[in-house]
């Protein structure tokens, strides 16, 4: 629904549990909303077809689960070098391979962040709830268009298949920001698709919409016009140009949502769909008189560091809560904020972690440490 509100006009994908519901919902609304929906032969075709649609000027989206997303990875790099905006949903299920196809897990985070060969900017947003998914999906399209990058939305089977009562979404909060240029992009009648700019963002025009302008793109390294080049100097300039966007992208990053006691003794960290269970667990722990708070990460990459540094220095204990075996969020905290969790609550049996489970485990950990 967030994609439709944001003006998506092309969606393609190959069915894969639990991501299929995104495609089927948009397909059901396609006639009313004027959207082309294509079920393709595989996920390689899906991302390349979506990139073609985006190049032609329409807002395009594709999605899959872990195994299908793995097939899209080369296409993500193609988006990186051609600077074509694309929104991708990755709805996680337990792997590797087929794994638990109808169960839930948060095991793909590091893979998604590092998806694609070579170095180029991308954004990764984890979705906390249906309401969050609506607004963040619309935001993802604007960011993809603004920076001409892939934006990846991370969900999971629990969030995809759960039901919840929510307040009606406010469609007036959705703004469609295309960042499309016109005649002003030409310099003496010449259009430079990959013009070197201070921001790293080049003017983007829709092919065929500006008289006399030819839009050249290439998966090989290229010059400002889009012609293939072997120049060492141009290679360095183009890499630097693309990476400049990362600095600006960091200014778009939303810090994690904090809930609980200000400056808590126990700080819980979580991401994505763990928001709901952790929020309920925090409420239960507060009723027990514990000094506890939680940071729920939505934006994951570039990684936000301000609040984890702020609350991390006050906390006597940091407990990381994730549905995977390797504490992937904790590894990102260590890498980017130099802060690590003291304890972990990890679950990877395919079943969702409940608030009661989190409450019981934190109570046990706090008693064992003699904090309470």
In terms of Cβ atoms closer than 10 Å to its own Cβ (0-12, 13-18, 19+), residue 251 is exposed
Distance CA 137, CA 139 (A): 5
Separation of alpha carbons 73 and 125, rounded Å: 17
Tokens of 251: 């200014």
Residue 54, phi then psi, degrees to nearest 5: -65, -40
User: What's the pLDDT at 133?
Assistant: 97
pLDDT at 225 (0 to 100):
97
Question: What pLDDT shows up at residue 314?
Answer: 87
d(CA 291, CA 285) in angstroms, rounded, equals 8
pLDDT in tens, the chain (372 residues): 999 999 999 999 999 999 999 999 999 999 999 999 999 999 999 999 999 999 999 999 999 999 999 999 999 999 999 999 999 999 999 999 999 999 999 999 999 999 999 999 999 999 999 999 999 999 999 999 999 999 999 999 999 999 999 999 999 999 999 999 999 999 999 999 999 999 999 999 999 999 989 999 999 999 999 999 999 999 999 999 999 999 999 999 999 999 999 999 999 999 999 999 999 999 999 999 999 999 999 999 999 999 999 999 889 999 999 999 999 999 999 999 999 999 999 999 999 999 999 999 999 999 998 777
The whole-angstrom separation of Cα 46 and Cα 277 is 34
Determine how β-strand 36-39 pairs with β-strand 317-322. Answer: unpaired
pLDDT of residue 43: 97
> In the chain, what percentage of residues exceed pLDDT 90?
97
Report d(CA 361, CA 351) in Å as an integer: 16
The pLDDT assigned to 370 comes to 78
What token pair was written down for 296? 């729920």
Q: Shortest CA distance to 59 belongs to which of 79, 94, 85, 98?
A: 85
**Order of all β-strands in the sheet with 10-13:** 36-39, 10-13, 60-64, 86-92, 150-156, 123-126, 299-301
Instruction: Give the separation between CA 229 and CA 220, rounded to whole angstroms.
Output: 8
pLDDT computed for residue 365 by the predictor? 96
Q: Where are the beta strands (DSSP E) in the chain?
A: 10-13, 36-39, 60-64, 86-92, 123-126, 150-156, 186-187, 190-191, 257-260, 266-271, 292-297, 299-301, 317-322, 343-346
Confidence (pLDDT) at 371:
75
**pLDDT given at position 178:** 96
């Amino acid at each position: 629904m967030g994609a439709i509100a944001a003006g998506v006009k092309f969606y393609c994908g190959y069915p894969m549990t639990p991501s299929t519901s995104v495609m089927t919902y948009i397909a059901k609304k396609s006639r009313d909303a004027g959207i082309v929906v294509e079920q393709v032969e595989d996920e390689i075709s899906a991302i390349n077809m979506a990139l073609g649609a985006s190049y032609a000027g329409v807002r395009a989206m594709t999605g899959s689960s872990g195994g299908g997303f793995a097939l899209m990875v080369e296409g993500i790099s193609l988006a990186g070098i051609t600077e074509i905006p694309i929104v991708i949903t990755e709805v996680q299920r337990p792997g590797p391979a087929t794994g638990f196809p109808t169960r839930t897990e948060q095991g793909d985070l590091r893979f998604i962040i590092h998806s694609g060969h070579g170095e180029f900017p991308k954004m990764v947003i984890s979705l906390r709830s249906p309401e969050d998914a609506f607004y963040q999906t619309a935001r993802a399209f604007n960011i993809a268009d603004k920076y001409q990058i892939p934006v990846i939305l991370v969900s999971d089977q629990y969030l995809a298949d759960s039901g919840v009562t929510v307040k009606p979404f406010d469609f007036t909060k959705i703004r469609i920001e295309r960042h499309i240029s016109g005649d002003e992009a030409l310099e003496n009648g010449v259009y430079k698709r990959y013009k070197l700019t201070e921001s790293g963002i080049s003017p983007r025009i829709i092919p065929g919409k500006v008289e006399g302008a030819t839009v050249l793109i290439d998966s090989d390294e290229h010059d400002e016009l889009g012609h293939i080049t072997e120049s060492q100097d141009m290679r360095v300039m183009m890499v630097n140009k693309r990476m400049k966007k990362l600095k600006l992208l960091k200014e778009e990053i939303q810090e994690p949502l904090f809930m609980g006691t200000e400056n808590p003794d126990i700080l819980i960290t979580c991401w994505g769909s763990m928001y709901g269970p952790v929020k309920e667990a925090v409420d239960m722990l507060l009723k027990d008189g514990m000094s506890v708070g939680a940071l729920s990460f939505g934006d994951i990459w570039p990684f936000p560091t301000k609040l984890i540094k702020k609350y991390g220095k006050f906390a006597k204990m940091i407990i990381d809560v994730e549905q995977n075996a390797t504490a992937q969020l904790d590894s990102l905290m260590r890498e980017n904020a130099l802060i690590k969790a003291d304890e972990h609550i990890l679950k990877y049996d395919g079943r969702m972690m409940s608030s009661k489970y989190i409450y019981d485990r934190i109570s046990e950990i706090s008693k064992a440490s003699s904090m309470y």
